Amino acid sequence: MSVTSRPVRATHEPQMVQLLTLLNAEERNRVDVAGEKIFTTNHATQYGDAVRALRQQRYHGFLLSLSQYRALPPGVLPRIVREYPQTPVFALLTGKEGSSAQQLLQLGQSGVRRLIDARDAAGWRDLRDVMGQISARGIEARALMRLQEDLQEASAQSRRFFEMLFVMPPTLSTIREFTHVLGVRPTTFMSRFFRAQLPAPKQYLIAARLVRAAHLLENPGCSITQVATYLNYSSPQSFSRHVQGVLQCGATDFRRRFTGEAMLAHLREHLVLPHRDAWRDFDPFSPKPTWVVKRGLPSMVCESAQPVQQA
């Protein structure tokens, strides 16, 4: 498959907007420059590659130039819009390819959300603004907004924990990986939740992954297999068993019953709202002093906050 991507960032960094494109060579270079620190681009060189990329990975938007739109077979663009409604399609006009009112009308009828007129510098700023708006509307951003409202009286470190759940890449699927990034020992981290009489941190990590899974499955073109792969489950069967164990329903029923918003509401109802008092003074990250006896004399030591070495 001919899709080129820009370098992958370190796994502990928050995810940026992921933009799939179908552009000519000159447009690809200019879009990469415009996207610095705002979005990353995966460039398809043919429409078939773009369709396969949408099936294999989540994208926040699909940018299509008018020059490439002309080469699409009839019905391809409406099908993309229909099967991936969570990936809005944007058209890019640079002035090199020419355009007509009829073509622009056809784009609108196919479901294109917006035309980015990049024939001058203002258009490239518009592209950055549009991608920034997409980031603010994503399920992760909506989750953080709801949780910040729920936890207004919680400690800053408690709110940080929930922020990390939704800004870390979904490939971080275990508490060991999660705490390695945070620089906290897994046993230390889990014991703090136990002492505070909070649900185990793994439950929060699982629920956050399922929020993302439900959101992805709102796209009719996304299969359960594709979502399981994207979220780093070992197989579709593993994903289905996981959902069964957590929600007592199979993957197909999960898709029917839960949108991203519905799964977020489930997380809040079961793991956040009943425990607001505990979150008020809870700090899952900072080391706590512990008294120990050494050679007959009490001394104070701190729990280790060193990064866990991966096997």
Tell me the per-residue pLDDT of 158-175, one tens digit each, with 9 for 90 and over.
998 998 888 887 777 888
Residue 86 pLDDT: 80
Give pLDDT tens digits for 31-90: 998 888 778 899 999 989 998 888 878 788 899 998 888 888 888 898 888 888 888 899
Domain 3-137 shares a fold with domain 139-292: no
**Of the listed ranges 251-260, 275-284, 301-310, the one predicted with least confidence:** 301-310
By the 8 A CB rule, do 14 and 164 touch? no
By the 8 A CB rule, do 19 and 90 touch? no
For CA atoms 43, 48, 53, 54, give the dihedral sign. positive
Three-state SS for 200? coil
pLDDT band at 253 (very low <50, low <70, confident <90, very high): very high
Across 232-260, average pLDDT: 92
- Architecture of the domain delimited by 3-137: 3-Layer(aba) Sandwich (3.40)
- Judged against a pLDDT cut of 90, whether residue 211 lies above it is answered with yes
pLDDT band at 96 (very low <50, low <70, confident <90, very high): low
Residue 100 pLDDT: 62
Strands 89-93 and 61-65: parallel
- Architecture of the domain delimited by 139-292: Orthogonal Bundle (1.10)
Where are the chain's structural domains?
Answer: 3-137, 139-292
Give pLDDT tens digits for 110-166: 888 788 888 888 888 888 888 877 755 678 888 988 998 999 999 888 998 998 888
Residue 268 pLDDT: 95
292 contact partners, CB below 8 Å, separation of at least 6: 298, 299, 300, 301
